[in-house]
């Protein structure tokens, strides 16, 4: 493409790489946040002016004044029209959570960030309308939090919880976040505007499209601009129809269908012939915007026969905007079809076209020779769906788009490869933070895992799958049609806590050269078993360690012990195995209780 730059291939983010940009400012930002919490607004102002661009300076200064005058954070101050007792308890609790983001311990801040929706649900409750000044103060504090919070894991967690809340006052928070230096923050911020219309977002979104090079963010920026009705980059969106990656094509179809310039019809008709069901479905939905086009009508009528049921379902809904006896007849044919899902959709569409109630339609259909008793269930389902649709009447300030959740240039599966010398990969509870071994095993290399969300940490992308985060250096992306396959651990490699290194049984096996330590950090130590499972010389020492060790190390020998028993099944050392296993279960229970008791109290309150 000579004049169009779709830019689909890099994770570095704009302006030179997120980790490199964030790191030099972290000490300044920490100082700025500490000064603000201490009430030293002048010093904080100086830090902020270095941490944000000139466009946001006026906004930030306004927020600083509000924070200083109202003493919030750390606590929300009630305007003269209210007393503390008159505030809703929900509003007070939400103010406490915002305060905890500023002043809480790291564990408390993580608690809020990693499940933030319940903490901030008041933004979508009636109390928000009844306390507008308090809500304005909370929004102002969150805007400032976006500007100076140095931990983008915490910041993205907070934004994820707020992203799907409908309160329009939150749009300013996300508009600010669109220009954050962290790729992770921008990725979450743009997702809100894929579904929510906001005049505040148009300019930063247009700048983002011009500057952003991260594939996931770019595709969501296209969707967000379509939601806002911005056609400034329509030619580049058209070019995305030729992308080798289906998510780009699907997004372009949605956006161009919404913007609906007349010359896009041919492009939608071409996309409707795609071999990919997802692309056909998006094209059918878009063709509903050309109700006067005979070509669009004919294509949708053909789409009713699509081999993929949900694509036919989309075609039925898209035909709702077209007139003609042939459309009525085609939809009625689906009412009496064999697919119960399509019968339900066709029933709703046909009733709406006739403009009659359900009872009248049933009476009319019963006179048709194609009517069968089993059709009644589909009709009853349609009644229920229409009631739900009435309850969920679409907000005119939202768009029917959904953001992509990960890099569209990557495949759906990854395989763990780890390091050449290792047979397993450590599980991380979040990027850069290893999971405690009492709660998770190492994952064997070779495991094929369906990929989930991504996060950039210290210049490297991390990916989540099966509840663990893995660095990109430990994975490879593969094309796979099969579901994820997990390789069962063989017990050769596992993690223990550094405190377990004092275990005398571990020392004995190390001295016997039956073990070695690897992948050591200040929080975890990897243990690798070197012994030949077929050799019997060391067998009794392993069994004794499994039986007598009071640390996690002994319990982690369980898989290895089972493997040894399969090989040495006649050996006398197994005579008391049932007693050993019962003892091990008691130790597991005790260690789990101790580990859970060590968790911060707020996690269970």
Radius of gyration of the chain, Cα coordinates, nearest whole angstrom: 30
List Cβ neighbours of 492 (8 Å cut-off, separation of 6 or more): 423, 424, 528, 529, 560
Q: Quote the tokens at residue 328.
A: 């009525």
d(CA 568, CA 337): 62
pTM score: 0.77
Q: Is residue 516 within a helix (H) or strand (E), and if so which, with residue range?
A: strand 515-518
pLDDT of 426 reads 95
Q: What is the pLDDT of residues 371-386, one digit of tens each?
A: 776 666 666 676 666 6
Secondary element (H or E) of residue 86:
none
Tokens of 490: 């063989």
Give me 456's structure tokens: 């950039």
Say if CB 462 and CB 470 are below 8 A apart.
yes
Residue 455 tokens read as 């996060």
The residue assigned the tokens 């009319």 is: 364
CA dihedral 314, 316, 318, 320 (to 10 degrees): -150
CA 323 to chain CA centroid, nearest Å: 41
Q: Looking at residue 591, what is its pLDDT?
A: 79
Alpha-carbon separation of residue 23 from 16, 20, 151, 462 (angstroms): 12, 6, 10, 18
CATH number for the domain running over 255-405? 1.25.10.10
Owner of token pair 């179809």: 253
The string of pLDDT tens digits covering residues 144-195 is 999 999 999 999 999 999 998 989 999 999 999 999 999 999 999 999 999 9
At residue 451, the pLDDT reads 87
Residue numbers in the chain where pLDDT is lower than 50:
1-5, 7-83, 85-86, 603-605
Eight-class DSSP state of 10? B
Of 396, 388, 336, nearest to 367 by C-alpha is 336
Report which DSSP code applies to 262: G
β-pair type (448-450, 413-416): antiparallel
| Residue whose token pair is 């004092």 | 502
What's the rounded Cα separation, in Å, for the pair 35 and 102?
A: 11
CA atoms within 13 A on the CB side of 8: 20
Measured N-to-C along each axis, helices 132-148 and 41-51 cross at an angle, to the nearest 10 degrees, of 60
468: three-class secondary structure by DSSP: strand
Domain ranges of the chain: 255-405, 413-478, 493-597
Residue whose structure tokens are 């300076």:
57
**67, two tokens:** 């924070």
Strand order in the sheet with 433-434: 433-434, 428-430, 468-471, 460-465, 454-457
């Amino acid at each position: 493409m000579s004049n169009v730059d779709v830019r689909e291939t890099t994770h570095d983010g704009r302006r030179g790489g997120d980790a490199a940009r964030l790191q030099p400012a972290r000490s300044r930002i920490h100082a700025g946040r500490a000064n603000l919490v201490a009430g030293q607004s002048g010093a904080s102002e100086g830090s902020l002016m270095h941490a944000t661009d000139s466009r946001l300076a006026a906004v930030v200064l306004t927020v600083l004044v509000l924070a200083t005058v109202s003493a919030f954070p750390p606590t929300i101050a009630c305007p003269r029209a209210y007393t503390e007792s008159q505030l809703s308890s929900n509003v007070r609790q939400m103010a406490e959570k915002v305060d905890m983001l500023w002043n809480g311990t790291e564990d408390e801040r993580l608690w809020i960030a990693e499940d933030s929706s319940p903490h901030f649900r008041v933004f979508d409750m009636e109390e928000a309308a009844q306390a507008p000044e308090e809500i304005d103060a909370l929004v102002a504090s969150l805007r400032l939090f976006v500007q100076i919070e140095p931990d983008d894991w915490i910041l993205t967690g907070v934004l994820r919880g707020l992203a799907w809340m409908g309160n329009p006052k939150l749009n300013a928070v996300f508009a600010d976040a669109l220009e954050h230096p962290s790729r992770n923050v921008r990725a979450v911020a743009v997702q809100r505007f894929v579904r929510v219309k906001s005049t505040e977002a148009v300019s930063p979104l247009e700048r983002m499209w011009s500057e952003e090079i991260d594939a996931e963010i770019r595709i969501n920026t296209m969707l967000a601009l379509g939601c806002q009705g911005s056609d400034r980059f329509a030619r580049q969106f058209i070019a995305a129809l030729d992308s080798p990656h289906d998510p780009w094509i699907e997004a372009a179809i949605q956006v161009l269908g919404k913007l609906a310039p007349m010359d896009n019809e041919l492009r939608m008709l071409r996309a409707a012939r795609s071999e990919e069901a997802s692309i056909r479905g998006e094209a059918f939905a878009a063709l509903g915007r050309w109700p006067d086009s005979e070509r669009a009508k004919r294509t949708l009528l053909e789409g009713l026969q699509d081999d993929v049921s949900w694509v036919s379902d989309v075609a039925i809904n898209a035909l709702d905007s077209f007139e003609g006896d042939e459309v009525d007849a085609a939809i009625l044919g689906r009412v009496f079809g064999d697919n119960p899902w399509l019968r339900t959709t066709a029933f709703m569409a046909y009733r709406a076209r006739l403009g009659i109630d359900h009872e009248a339609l049933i009476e009319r259909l019963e006179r048709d020779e194609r009517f069968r008793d089993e059709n009644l269930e589909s009709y009853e389902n349609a009644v229920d769906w229409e009631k739900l649709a009435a309850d969920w009447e679409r907000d005119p300030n939202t768009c029917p788009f959904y953001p992509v959740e990960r890099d569209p240039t990557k495949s759906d599966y990854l395989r763990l490869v780890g390091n050449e010398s290792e047979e397993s990969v450590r599980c991380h509870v979040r990027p850069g933070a290893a999971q405690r071994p009492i709660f998770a095993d190492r994952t064997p290399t070779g495991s094929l895992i369906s990929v989930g969300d991504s996060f950039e940490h210290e210049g490297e992308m991390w990916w989540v799958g099966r509840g663990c985060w893995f660095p990109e250096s430990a994975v490879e992306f593969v094309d796979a049609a099969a579901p994820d396959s997990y390789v069962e651990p063989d017990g050769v490699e596992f993690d223990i806590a550094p405190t377990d290194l004092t275990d005398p049984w571990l020392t004995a096996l190390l001295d016997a050269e039956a073990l070695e330590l690897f992948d050591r950090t200040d929080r975890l130590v990897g243990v690798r078993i070197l012994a030949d499972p077929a050799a019997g010389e060391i067998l009794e020492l392993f069994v004794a360690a499994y039986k007598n060790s009071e640390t996690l190390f002994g319990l982690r020998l369980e898989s290895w012990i089972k493997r040894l028993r399969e090989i040495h099944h006649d050996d006398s050392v197994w005579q008391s195995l049932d007693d050993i296993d019962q003892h091990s279960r008691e130790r597991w229970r005790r260690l789990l209780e101790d580990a859970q008791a060590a968790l911060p109290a707020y996690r269970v309150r």
